[in-house]
Amino acid sequence: MATDPLPRAPWAVAMRWSRLLFCHWPVPVATLRPHVPPLLDIDTFDGDAWLAVVPFTMPVVRPRLTPPLGFGPGAFHELNVRTYVTYRGEPGVWFFSLDAASATGVAVGRATMSLAYHRARMRLEETAGTVRYASDRTDPRAPAAAFRAVYARTGPARASEPGTLEHFLTERYRMYTSDLAPRAPRRLWVGGVEHAPWRLAPAECDITTNTMTLPLGVDVSGRAPLLHAAEPLDVRGTLRRRLV
């Protein structure tokens, strides 16, 4: 299992991430700076910050010391908007939003991790390896946002090599969080995950609707993303600890 050198802590939740697609766009650092707490540095690759929209599903979520919770196939989908940051040289992920089709998942994520989870109406269908994904945000705490895409892998999966863009974008085992709006971002927490290294495959994707980044003032709808389809992963996550 790959991990980041966080202080040892027992895992709090086990998950399985499946049918995951990384959609990435390079953007200027200045575009994202107003939306990332000043305690965090925005990480760059060859001078660019990277903005991602990541659809996937979690068919299994298991809090520690409990049996697996069966949400049903495709019942607990997520859609994340994220970028990459460092804190005192330690790389991690910053989530702008996490839409989910589970009221429980949204409530727990907001309460225990201060993650910007929002309720959404979501649908995933898969036929012969092709995934049809749709999400419409329904949470009144956040601006409306939607995503619709059809995607499939187009080649074999492999682990990324250190120093490559793929490795920079995916091999991160920390997530930084701060005070949720409308509070000012004065506190900073970090949580960790552990899982096997990502195995990524080339992919094709037809995105017909993507307004997920518009709340950030960024419109990527006319730009082709860098795409990677990921093999399913079993993941363990720890609760947050406070840094500042």
DSSP per-residue letters across 126-149 = EETTEEEEEEEE--TTS---EEEE
pLDDT at 76: 82
The pLDDT of 217-240, averaged and rounded, is 94
Residue 2 has pLDDT above 70, yes or no: no
pLDDT at 59: 84
Domains recognised in the chain with CATH numbers: 13-242 (2.40.400.10)
Residue 60 has pLDDT above 80, yes or no: no
13 vs 154, residue with greater confidence: 154
Whether 239 and 115 have beta carbons less than 8 Å apart is answered as no
pTM score: 0.92
Torsion of CA 9, 194, 189, 140, to 10 degrees: -130
